[in-house]
């Protein structure tokens, strides 16, 4: 029989549609990942085309080269210059669309994706996220910083060259507010962080664990809203991504690359989004919230029922997803560079 | 400069990305809608194939024929039989996946879509929704009833034959709870229904109105989360769709068909979802909530930023969307049958 499961963090309910569940192998793409060239002359993110982007805000690289590069987004959703304002008129509420919208070019190599990069490169990207997180936090207009990646057309990307983005907003969304409130409610009742508790329970169950190392745990959540969603939690309690230390950056690079490689080799390069969910700046030291990295493969479509109710239907079993991912054989080339 | 706008009902913020806004004509599909046959021998919803679906729960038709037909969904997300239960274990919460999941076959003609149907047929479909709404409300396990339609692949449909669906759940989603709470908070402060108030303001502004008649108003909301979203509000205060009367069914058929025709002819048959957002059964007579029909064309993709924050980015201007839709020339054949 199908069952509802509830996400303890968001209180969202998902229907685990056991009757029409698809087995993990049914999510494998029909075709092998296509070969992508290492360099594309017209790509604004390929080396030599730096003039095609707005002036750099950060560069990791030695001499004339670069390994990771950050620029303002040419098609920014927000204006970098300008002050905060809020306007009310009847029921209408508007606010200044100011903030930061940057592109992180992850590597000079057009053909790579996280799963295929050397682990040192993934570490460079994460160090860059941290550098930008700090720099942007200094902006007094900013309340919330989100780092995310769109990989593939279904995930909303239009550019093939590996890149991620940072958007910093002068407003906290009600979705984030609601998570913070739920986490605080739990903390007030139980005296502990709900995310820390959830990690303990997942490690106890083991069934949904995908990978773990000394600093991080990756698992398919019990109430996963969609197939193969994976959360990567830091073991140490930290509300904000900015608190990550050097050892943790190294460990996060290893587990993030492994998790994305398990998806890449297991499901043949599925489209995915990942994002770092961190506390708003003003709550960066709270005991009740915990940052994490969420990876959402885009294997199914959101339809009218989800849009109209906020319920989700997951046509796969989280426990089977995790077992499948644990069993994926990674190529020797992957292991060698880890 | 871009601006944030807030949906007064959900408190969600959308970035209206003025700098990279696309003009309405940029959303027109590249190709004309393809011709679809009126009958497909292998289609489970075409006349003569009634044995391919589970036994009918409702039929509108005379003699051996039918005009609208309702059956349980063969691939139901929920089990029709069974009792309610709730299970708690640590942070894990689960509940019985029981409820109703029906398919409404909207017409015997495989080739039609709402925009192309005679208005009398649209009225039959709406009467059928109302009939099913009443029947399902009698089920004591049910808390929330959602009627929705997925049109086209991007909207999540796999079957071409025009159909909509009803899902009735034994749980109220936190998304719906949160809307109810916001509406109640407004009512307690202002002494009026926020939806009634919003309609008055939209009628005052006129800029975002798409169509109106004696009983309904259709508009692109000020803080529309995505391009060409249209809400159809009943003028009379009603919390629940079940309260709609005969005159209102007739008027809703006319305006719904017109709105969908403006999308069909204006944007060349875009994929869309529509859903009827109605109060949970237990709140069907409240003064602070108001049912409505929401039409969401699927013209853009949700990416990492939206998933990771709950903010939305709308790359079009609601006022331009509405102006464009008002200006669409409907063919004479459409007017004649209205």
**B1 in a domain, yes or no?**
no
pLDDT above 60 (res B43):
yes
Looking at residue A25, its pLDDT comes to 93
CATH of the domain at B246: 3.30.428.10
pLDDT digits (tens, 9 = 90+) for B48-107: 999 999 999 999 987 668 999 999 999 899 999 999 999 999 999 999 999 999 999 999
DSSP label of B143? -
In this structure, the strands spanning B312-314 and B13-16 are parallel
pLDDT above 60 (res A338):
no
Residues of A in contact with B8 (CB under 8 A): 91-93
Q: Is the dihedral of CA A194, A196, A201, A207 positive or negative?
A: positive
Residues of B in contact with A91 (CB under 8 A): 8, 194, 197-198, 201
Contact between A2 and B78 using a beta-carbon 8 Å cutoff: yes
pLDDT digits (tens, 9 = 90+) for B132-158: 999 999 999 999 999 999 999 999 998
Looking at residue A84, its pLDDT comes to 95
Q: Cα–Cα distance between A18 and B77 in angstroms, integer?
A: 8
Number of A/B CB contacts below 8 angstroms equals 232
**B168 in a domain, yes or no?**
yes
**B274 in a domain, yes or no?**
yes
In order of A28, A287, B313, B335, the CA distances from A280 in angstroms are 37, 13, 20, 53
Residues spanned by the domain of A48: 3-337
Contact between B10 and A276 using a beta-carbon 8 Å cutoff: no
Contact between B309 and A165 using a beta-carbon 8 Å cutoff: no
What are the helix (H) ranges across A85-141?
A: 119-137
Looking at residue A241, its pLDDT comes to 97
Looking at residue B63, its pLDDT comes to 64
What is the arithmetic mean of pLDDT over A44-49? 95
Q: Cα–Cα distance between B207 and B319 in angstroms, integer?
A: 6
Looking at residue A233, its pLDDT comes to 98
CA distance A117 to chain B (A): 21
Residues of B in contact with A150 (CB under 8 A): 303-304
Band (B274; pLDDT cuts 50, 70, 90):
very high
Q: Cα–Cα distance between A323 and B149 in angstroms, integer?
A: 35
Nearest to B91 among A16, A201, A296 (CB): A201
Strand segments (E) across A90-186: 92-96, 100-105, 144-151, 163-169
Q: What percent of chain B has pLDDT over 90?
A: 89
pLDDT above 60 (res A95):
yes
From B101, B110, B163, B290, the catalytic residue: B163
Q: Cα–Cα distance between B259 and B297 in angstroms, integer?
A: 11
**B2 in a domain, yes or no?**
no
pLDDT above 60 (res A282):
yes
pLDDT digits (tens, 9 = 90+) for B211-243: 999 999 999 999 999 999 999 999 999 999 999
In order of A97, B248, B273, B297, B299, the CA distances from B294 in angstroms are 26, 17, 8, 10, 15
Residues of A in contact with B301 (CB under 8 A): 153-156
Q: Cα–Cα distance between B5 and B12 in angstroms, integer?
A: 8
pLDDT above 60 (res B167):
yes
What is the arithmetic mean of pLDDT over A58-85? 91
Q: Is the dihedral of CA B233, B238, B243, B244 positive or negative?
A: negative
pLDDT above 80 (res A20):
no
Long-range contacts of B36-44 (CB under 8 A, 24+ apart): B36/B110, B36/B111, B36/B160, B37/B110, B37/B111, B38/B109, B38/B110, B38/B111, B39/B109, B39/B110, B40/B110, B40/B160, B40/B161, B43/B110, B43/B159, B43/B160, B43/B161, B44/B74, B44/B159, B44/B161
Contact between B76 and A222 using a beta-carbon 8 Å cutoff: no
Nearest to B15 among A77, A175, A274 (CB): A77
What's the residue count for chain B?
338
pLDDT digits (tens, 9 = 90+) for A24-45: 999 999 888 888 999 999 999 9
What count of Cα atoms within 13 Å lies in the side-chain half-sphere of residue A11? 18
pLDDT above 60 (res B179):
yes
pLDDT above 80 (res B20):
no
Between B303 and A297, where is the model more confident?
A297
Closest CA to B99 of B114, B84, B118: B84
Largest CA distance in chain B: 63
Closest residue of A to B156, CA-based? A303
Looking at residue B15, its pLDDT comes to 96
CA distance A170 to chain B (A): 10
Band (A333; pLDDT cuts 50, 70, 90):
confident
pLDDT above 90 (res A17):
no
DSSP label of B40? -
Total domains, chain B = 1
Looking at residue A129, its pLDDT comes to 98
Looking at residue A59, its pLDDT comes to 92
pLDDT above 70 (res A51):
yes
B21 three-class SS: coil
Looking at residue A62, its pLDDT comes to 73
């Amino acid at each position: 029989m199908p069952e509802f499961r509830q996400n303890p963090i968001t209180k969202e309910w998902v229907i685990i549609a056991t009757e029409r569940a698809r087995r993990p192998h049914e999510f494998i793409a029909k075709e092998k990942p296509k070969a992508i060239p290492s360099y594309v002359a017209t790509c604004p993110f390929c080396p030599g085309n730096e003039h095609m982007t707005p002036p750099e805000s950060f560069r990791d690289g030695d001499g004339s080269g670069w390994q990771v590069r950050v620029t303002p987004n040419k098609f920014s959703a927000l204006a970098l210059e300008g002050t905060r304002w809020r306007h009310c008129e009847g029921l209408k509420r508007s606010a200044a669309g100011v903030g930061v919208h940057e592109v992180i070019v992850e590597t000079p190599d057009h053909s790579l994706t996280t799963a295929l990069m050397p682990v040192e490169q993934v570490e460079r990207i994460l160090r860059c996220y941290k550098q930008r997180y700090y720099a942007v936090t200094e902006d007094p207009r900013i309340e919330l910083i989100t780092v995310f990646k769109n990989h593939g057309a279904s995930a909303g990307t239009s550019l093939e060259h590996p890149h991620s983005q940072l958007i910093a907003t002068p407003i906290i969304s009600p979705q984030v507010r609601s998570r913070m409130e739920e986490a605080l409610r739990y903390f007030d009742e139980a005296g502990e962080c709900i995310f820390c508790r959830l990690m303990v329970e997942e490690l106890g169950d083991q069934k949904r664990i995908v990978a773990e190392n000394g600093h991080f745990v990756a698992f398919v959540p019990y109430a996963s809203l969609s197939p193969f969603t994976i959360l990567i939690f830091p073991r140490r309690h930290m509300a904000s991504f900015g608190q990550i230390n050097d050892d943790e950056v190294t460990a996060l690079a290893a587990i993030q690359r492994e998790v994305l490689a398990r998806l890449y080799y297991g499901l043949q390069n599925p489209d995915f989004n990942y994002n770092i969910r961190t506390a708003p700046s003003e709550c960066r030291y709270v005991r009740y919230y915990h940052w994490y990295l969420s990876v959402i493969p885009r294997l199914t479509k959101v339809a009218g029922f989800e849009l109209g109710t906020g319920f989700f239907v997951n046509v796969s079993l989280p426990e089977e997803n995790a077992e499948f991912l644990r069993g994926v054989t990674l190529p020797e080339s992957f292991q060698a560079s880890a």
